[in-house]
Amino acid sequence: MKIFFKKILPSVSKIKHHPKLKLFGKLLHDPNLWQLNRRSLSGGTAVGLFVAFIPLPLQTLIAAAIAIIFRVNLPLSVSLVFITNPITMPLFFYFAYRIGAFLLGMDTISMQVLLSMEGFLNSINDILLPLSVGCFVVGSITALTGFFLVNLLWRLHIKNLLHKRAKKKVPSILRANT
């Protein structure tokens, strides 16, 4: 599991020297931010997925700040905010807007209207509350799901490793009889 995350996450030096993250200075030297363990990775997943659904610019800085506060894996937190990118953002945020409108019992505006700049600007007052509620709810559910999924996968991986280790310790004569 650690090998997988080491391969996909950016290096410590790349993150520490990222121009936007330099404002955190010595806070980036906390070793907990770079740990590859169950707690740090599941927490980093939750932070990154929650922040990905915050409809604000500079999500990477927000994710980094929260990761530093909670002392969870910083590279994973920052990387996961990019699930909402210019290609996926309209779909994710429209989905969150629809969820928020549903929870608030409000009528929704069609996606075609919201995709035009004029339609978006004319509707901003009508979409702000349902979008905020929807983003909070979807972000929270996504973060919790990611947290528990990484925890579960980590535990299954460890259980599998222990099972393989126990199997190796059994003498070959006993293995043949089972």
Assess contact for 70 and 43: CB atoms under 8 A. Answer: yes
Q: What is the pLDDT of residue 172?
A: 57
Assess contact for 134 and 98: CB atoms under 8 A. Answer: yes
Helical ranges in 9-116 per DSSP H: 12-16, 38-52, 59-70, 74-80, 89-104, 111-115
Q: What is the pLDDT of residue 109?
A: 85
Q: What is the dihedral of CA 3, 83, 101, 55, to 10 degrees?
A: 120
pLDDT digits (tens, 9 = 90+) for 69-107: 999 999 999 999 999 998 999 899 999 999 999 999 999
- 0.85 surpassed by pTM: no
Domain count, the chain: 1
Assess contact for 64 and 101: CB atoms under 8 A. Answer: no
Name the stretches of the chain with pLDDT < 50. Answer: none
* Range(s) of the domain holding residue 43: 2-177
Q: Which amino acid is present at 90?
A: P
Q: What is the pLDDT of residue 175?
A: 57
Which sign does the torsion angle of CA 22, 93, 142, 104 carry? positive
